[in-house]
Amino acid sequence: MIQYHAQLARMTTFQLGGVAERLVQPSSIRELAETIALGRRRGWPTRILGHGSNLLLRDRVLPGLTIRLDRRGFGTLRAQGYEVTAGAGVSLSRLIGFCVGRGFHGLEGLVGIPAAVGGALRNNAGGRDVTIAERLSSVTLLNRDGDVVTLPRGELSFGYRSSSFAESVILEAVFRLERGVREEALQRCRDHFQRKRADQPLAERSAGCIFRNPPGDFAGRLVETAGLKGLRIGRAEISPLHGNFIVAHRGARSDDVLRLIDHVRERVANVHGVWLELEIEVW
């Protein structure tokens, strides 16, 4: 079912931006495939939305078709031996909870990342010691020809916050985990979460790190040493806790964040001679 002029802000962690011209939240692969085929026939630009934790939506109508994969339609979660199959719409926190509850370890380093499995694979989300691709066994995709295919890890490529999925929709994935002690896995989750919460403003509205780390350096360090932490434009602020996070306060608009991004890039370029590349996507 197509929803017209659907509010999208609440479907992102920034909670900013306008409405989708058309939104579909498919409840099956078939509905997803039919929706994508319809979009092609009509020439609608089409985007896949996960948990919206790496996106900034502009303050305007998002043209074309937005397809949101959530747990209702893409919520598979099952174990066979030490392999866990998770649907694209399952949150990482739910996946990690499922694994840790069974004493399976390997994904604890991803705790505190508010992504869905599909978005996490697309961006090869990672924590201090692990990226999601490292535990991947296979992925099932809807490819650009409309076929459902399962590819082993060896046929996929991943990089720093990047993957080879650009043209496909991730439907579900199998992760290979290791037998561990449940209490120890739980403790590792607590430790990772505590460290992440100490370093990053997890309770505030953001999209995680705004910029990619430039080779050999850290965007957060460059922003901090350019004297920009705590700077505000409108109701958007560079987090005083982490220089690579912009947080949106009540009443913020996307435009405030965009202006702050421009300001940071120019200042960091002047001070350090480095042009920061965006890590988030702006839609």
Ligand X SMILES: Cc1cc2nc3c(=O)[nH]c(=O)nc-3n(C[C@H](O)[C@H](O)[C@H](O)COP(=O)(O)OP(=O)(O)OC[C@H]3O[C@@H](n4cnc5c(N)ncnc54)[C@H](O)[C@@H]3O)c2cc1C
Ligand Y SMILES: C=C(O[C@H]1[C@H](O)[C@@H](CO)O[C@H](OP(=O)(O)OP(=O)(O)OC[C@H]2O[C@@H](n3ccc(=O)[nH]c3=O)[C@H](O)[C@@H]2O)[C@@H]1NC(C)=O)C(=O)O
Cβ distance to ligand Y smaller for residue 103 or 127: 127
Q: Are 205 and 248 spatial neighbours (Cβ–Cβ below 8 Å)?
A: yes
- The amino acid at residue 107 is L
233 forms bridges with which residues in the sheet?
236
User: What are the φ and ψ backbone dihedral angles of 216, each rounded to 5 degrees?
Assistant: 75, 5
Distances (CA, A) of 41 to 4, 17, 34, 122, 144: 18, 27, 11, 25, 13
> 277 with 247: CB under 8 angstroms?
no
Active site residue 161: yes
Region binding ligand NDP by CB under 6 A among candidate stretches 40-48, 92-100, 166-174, 250-258: 92-100
> 68, 209, 237, 265: which is the annotated catalytic residue?
209
Q: Which of 9, 31, 59, 71 binds ligand NDP (CB under 6 A)?
A: 71
279 is known as an active-site residue: yes
Query: Identity (one letter) of the amino acid at 78?
Result: R
CA–CA separation, 247 and 203 (whole Å): 10
Using CB under 6 A as the binding rule, whether residue 132 contacts ligand Y is answered as no
Q: Which among 266, 267, 258, 229 is positioned nearest to 245, based on CA atoms?
A: 229
For residue 73, state whether it binds ligand X (rule: CB under 6 A). Answer: no
Identify the active-site residue in 94, 161, 176, 267.
161
Contacting ligand Y (CB under 6 A), which of 244, 246, 257, 261? Answer: 244
- Measured CA distances, 96 to 73, 110, 188 (Å): 20, 8, 11
- Name which position in 9, 18, 31, 93 contacts ligand NDP (CB under 6 A): 93
**x/- letters, 124..153, toward ligand NDP (CB under 6 A):** ------------------------------
Q: Does 204 bind ligand NDP (CB under 6 A)?
A: yes
Write out the binding residues for ligand X, residues 234-263 only, by CB under 6 A. none
Which CB atom, from 25 or from 213, has the smaller least distance to ligand Y? 213
Contact residues for ligand Y (CB under 6 A)? 127-128, 199, 208-209, 212-213, 218-221, 224, 242-244, 279
